[in-house]
Chains A and B, each alone.
Chain A
């Protein structure tokens, strides 16, 4: 016996599961945008949002028409545009990071390809580029979020719900578990407070990272096991960057403002290339087996 509300919930859950994964993700990032702006003015100016969204969408439409001969769905550009508007915190008055960041993000999908697949999550590529190439012009979101529990809780609840429906919950959980475990290790090595090492996880940059970047279906690898391994590797590379930060390794200084994003930018494409190569080998093997005389 099921109550009407339970039936409705199951129907909604089922419908969510059949949706193009980009729709619930779009909903989630819109929720973050609306919540963050309403409570904390997270954007710092609607011109930033309009610029990022406008450039991302226009670039997507123009390049898809040019390269593929048809206009692409702009869901991905929408997610990228909002991600950039939320994550990039520029020097006062600068709008070009949103414009150039938006263009580079979307263009990277068409330019930086291997075997017809793009390698970087678009916003991950653009933000990493800006962090490394334009540190005098942009910082990455680390505050502007109120540091309160309610906002965190809402985002985490919806985030977990949605990544589970797009079948990426294992990626999020693997990354978070590895991050916490490695935070303990880092705390032991540095002798610093464990809470300080875990603290970033409760911040806005990580919410965007674990629900949008590391779980991007287009740039993740093909099997659950491999995706779990990649998530763990990202956490491991991030831990190395963080340890270098703790020990003031000057050469890696540019990486310290955004360790997880840079770690994903390093690990993600390598993993994707390996995955595509393995897939190619599998296809060749399968073709060979099919072609072989019985």
Chain B
């Protein structure tokens, strides 16, 4: 008996080691990254917000948001450009114009998009691009802890603030937004996710009772808002009418047609609460649906969409928190079985589930083998390496809600870290063999506090590069080198009856008998928006059977045998 007892204890130790080493893959990945931000002229450094002194004790925790990046071709020259947000008064946002020669130039100041972080107006938390007036030029919505700002692209790299005339001048403490044509009228609408309550002015606090009232089921966050595009540059707040005013602490939102009824739904990743799926009822209203998300309450931080198993479905990946000894919330990989079962199926395990304090993530085919990889950035607050705030946080995490709703009741963090200096994860999709972390093997070794991540073919080479916005730290540009041999195909969509940006359009590529589905991105991940050109890896297959495009208008367009290894610009057919 004593032998069995000792054997069991030994087994505990052995299995723990195995669990910690899980996901190490001996096979060589078919791609490698080089960090080239400095070489290509991107020297952006994020600065976090300064806050009211009443919350000095946990200012590093509250002020740990705001590093964001989004992609758009702002001057229609065929080269993707990058917009980074800053979050401190007086510090400019940056618009890096892609010169097409492998370098970038910050033109934000001249374009009128730099000086947006001002006292009385708030500071940037993120931005999403969308052609809301269908004039063929990408416009910009900046969401803030402060007033929303909508900038109309006038052409020639000149932008004008049209917030007031658009009816969008609203103070929100927002950390996510998505462009979505929810009523399929051809005009992009806007859904903005409130995080902190909108009556909070972080520089003039009237109360310190601003924090969540539960770590698991909080509903005292900022109210999300849906703005309907009326045309002629005007928006109307239809939040209550459409039933999408969640007051959970939404950190990320993504839109796609999850149940295959042709109408875009809203997927919310909520901090301190369960994820939410609002199913779109024919553009008339949204219905908060019981689809297997409601009982699983964690700390959702990123809503990432992708066809994980090549089933022609939009699945969702939501990042969460894992910290050795303290908390294993684990990320969620929600496989979409809505059409058959009316629910998602949780499929995260191993390295997919536990990636530290994970923030932004994106699914994309990094090695062009026809399967999506996962790039996850993480780390919350990197302070002193030998001082952790985890123990202090654990004191209040399980306590009675009104205690920690007051920021003053929180222990001071000082210069301690909280899940700091965590490395990013690059998870290779091995199909049925699962996922393996190859980050260090492919050259991703930074320990910055990553927030936003986007996938974009920066240099028009047929491979996805990765851009990361880090909190209070430099942005990173990971240039991808893919081992030759795999093929690819990319689509750029131009809407006519649908919104011009084609946001929400789906492309289903069939090649070698395998389907792959991608959706044009109106904002996804955390504080990010990918390149809206849709990139598909094809593996060894050089022949594509078909590409079926489902436009937001309902038009279905089929392209037979599109050529591999090139970009296809597809304009929506008239019917």
- Residues of A in contact with B (beta carbons under 8 Å apart): 40-41, 63, 66-67, 89-94, 96-97, 100-101, 103-104, 107-108, 110-111, 129-131, 133-139, 141-149, 152, 190, 192-193, 195-197, 199-205, 245-246, 248, 250, 253-254, 256-257
Whether the pair A199, B8 counts as a contact (CB closer than 8 A) is: no
B366-395 vs A, CB cutoff 8 Å, 1 = contact: the mask equals: 000000000000000000001110111011
Q: Is B296 an interface residue (CB 8 A)?
A: yes
Check if B27 is an interface residue, CB within 8 A of chain A: no
> Hey, which chain A residues are within 8 Å of B409, CB to CB?
193, 195-196, 199
What are the 3 A-B residue pairs with the smallest beta carbon separation, nearest first?
A203-B398, A92-B353, A199-B399
Q: Is B103 an interface residue (CB 8 A)?
A: no
Q: How far is the CA of A146 from the CA of B387 in the complex (A)?
A: 29
- A148 in contact with B401 (CB, 8 Å): yes
For the complex, is B287 an interface residue (Cβ under 8 Å from A)? no
Task: List chain B residues, Cβ under 8 A from A196.
Answer: 392, 395-396, 403-404, 409-411
Q: Are A92 and B349 in contact (CB-based, < 8 A)? A: yes
Q: Are A248 and B1 CB-contacts (below 8 A) given A130-B12, A142-B398? A: no
Do A193 and B408 contact each other (CB < 8 Å), given the known contacts A104-B5, A104-B9, A144-B297?
A: yes
Q: Cβ of B542 < 8 Å from any Cβ of A?
A: no
Judge if B327 is at the interface, Cβ distance under 8 Å. Answer: yes
Chain B positions within 8 Å of A192 at CB level: 392, 411-412
A-B contact pairs, 6 of them (CB 8 A): A91-B328, A92-B328, A92-B349, A133-B13, A144-B216, A246-B392
B322 neighbours in A (Cβ, 8 Å): 91
B1 touches which one: A89, A104, A111, A204 (CB < 8 A)? A111
With A41-B296, A146-B214, A147-B216 in contact, do A100 and B11 touch (Cβ < 8 Å)? Answer: yes
When chains A and B are docked, how far (Å) is the Cα of A137 from the Cα of B354?
A: 10
**Once the chains bind, are B349 and A146 in contact (CB under 8 Å)?**
no
Binding-face segment, B15-23, B84-92, B184-192: B15-23
A248–B387 touching, CB < 8 Å: yes
Q: How large is the interface on B (under 10, 10 to 19, 20 to 34, 35 or more residues)?
A: 35 or more
Residue of B nearest to A254 (CB): B325
Cβ B390 vs Cβ A256 within 8 A: yes
Partner of A96, one of B15, B353, B397: B15
CA distance A137 to B296 in the complex (A): 19
Residue of A nearest to B394 (CB): A142
Q: Is B217 an interface residue (CB 8 A)?
A: yes
Given A104-B12, A147-B214, decide whether A199 and B326 contact each other with a Cβ distance below 8 A.
no
Interface contact tally, CB-CB below 8 A: 182
**Across the interface, which residues of B come within 8 angstroms of A149, CB to CB?**
400-401
A107 contact from B8, B297, B392, B397, Cβ within 8 A: B8
Which residues of chain B in 272-325 are interfacial with respect to chain A, using CB atoms and an 8 Å cutoff?
295-297, 322-325
Chain A residues contacting B408 (CB-CB under 8 Å) are: 193
A248 in complex: contacting residue of B16, B395, B416, CB < 8 Å: B416
Partner of B19, one of A137, A256, A257: A137
Pick the residue among B215, B217, B325 that contacts A257 (CB under 8 A). Answer: B325
Q: Which residue of B lies closest to A247 (CB)?
A: B387
Residue of B nearest to A102 (CB): B8
Q: Do residues A67 and B1 form an inter-chain contact, with CB atoms below 8 A?
A: yes
Residues of B within 8 A of A193 (CB): 408-411
Cβ of A238 to closest chain B Cβ, rounded Å = 12
Q: Give, as a whole number of angstroms, the nearest-CB distance from A16 to chain B.
A: 28
Q: A199-B404, A246-B391 are known contacts. Are A136 and B20 too (CB-CB below 8 A)? A: yes
Contact check, B19 vs A197: say whether CB atoms are below 8 A apart.
no
Which one of A152, A190, A248 has the greatest number of beta carbons of chain B within 10 Å?
A248
Task: Using CB atoms, name the residue of chain A closest to B348.
Answer: A92
B432 contacts A by Cβ under 8 Å: no
Q: Which of B1, B9, B392, B416 contacts A66 (CB 8 A)?
A: B1
- CA–CA, A92 to B19, complex, Å? 10
Known contacts A96-B15, A104-B5, A131-B325; is A197 also within 8 Å of B401 by CB? no
CA distance A135 to B13 in the complex (A): 10
| B213 at the A interface (CB under 8 A) | yes
Question: Which A residue sits closest to B330, measured CB to CB?
Answer: A92
Which residues on the A side are within 8 Å of B410 (C-beta)? 193, 196
Residues in A with CB closer than 8 Å to B433 are none
Taking a contact as CB atoms under 8 Å apart, the answer to whether A94 and B19 are in contact is yes
Tell me the nearest residue of chain A to B327, going by C-beta: A139
Q: Which residues of A contact B2 (CB under 8 A)?
A: 111
In contact, A145 and B216 (Cβ under 8 angstroms): yes
Shortest A242–chain B CB gap in Å is 8
Q: Are B1 and A63 in contact (CB under 8 A)?
A: yes
CB distance from A264 to the nearest CB of B (A): 17
- Report whether A107 and B4 are in contact in the complex, using a CB–CB cutoff of 8 Å: yes
CB-based contact A135/B325 at 8 Å: yes
A282 to B323 alpha-carbon distance, docked (Å): 49
Q: Closest CB-CB distance, B536 to chain A, in whole Å? A: 30
- B11: which A residues are within 8 A, CB to CB? 96, 100
Cβ distance A133 to chain B, nearest Cβ, rounded Å: 5
Known contacts A92-B349, A192-B411; is-contact A137 B16 (Cβ 8 Å): yes
* CB-based nearest B residue for A131: B325
Inside 8 A of A89's CB, which chain B residues have their CB? Answer: 327-328
B542 to chain A, nearest CB (A): 38
Q: How far is the CA of A246 from the CA of B217 in the complex (A)?
A: 28
Residues of the B chain whose Cβ atoms lie less than 8 Å from the Cβ of A141: 398
| A147 contacts B386, C-beta separation under 8 Å | no
Among A63, A66, A134, contact of B13 (Cβ-Cβ < 8 Å): A134
- Given A92-B354, A137-B15, A245:B391 Cβ within 8 A: yes
Q: Does B350 contact A (CB under 8 A)?
A: yes
Assembly CA distance A146 to B327 (angstroms)? 16
Query: Nearest Cβ distance between residue A111 and chain B, in whole angstroms?
Result: 5
B230 shortest CB reach to chain A, Å: 41
- Interchain CA distance A144-B388 in the complex, whole Å: 22
Give the docked Cα–Cα distance between A147 and B402 (Å).
Answer: 8
B323: chain A residues within 8 A (beta carbon): 139
**A93's contact among B13, B350, B394, B404, by CB below 8 Å, is which?**
B350
Query: B12, B296, B327, B404: which contacts A129 (Cβ < 8 A)?
Result: B12
Specify the chain B residue showing the minimal Cβ separation from A191.
Answer: B412
Residues of A within 8 A of B325 (CB): 131, 135-136, 139, 254, 256-257
Cβ B19 vs Cβ A200 within 8 A = no
Taken together as a complex, chains A and B put the C-alpha atoms of A131 and B326 apart, in Å, by 9
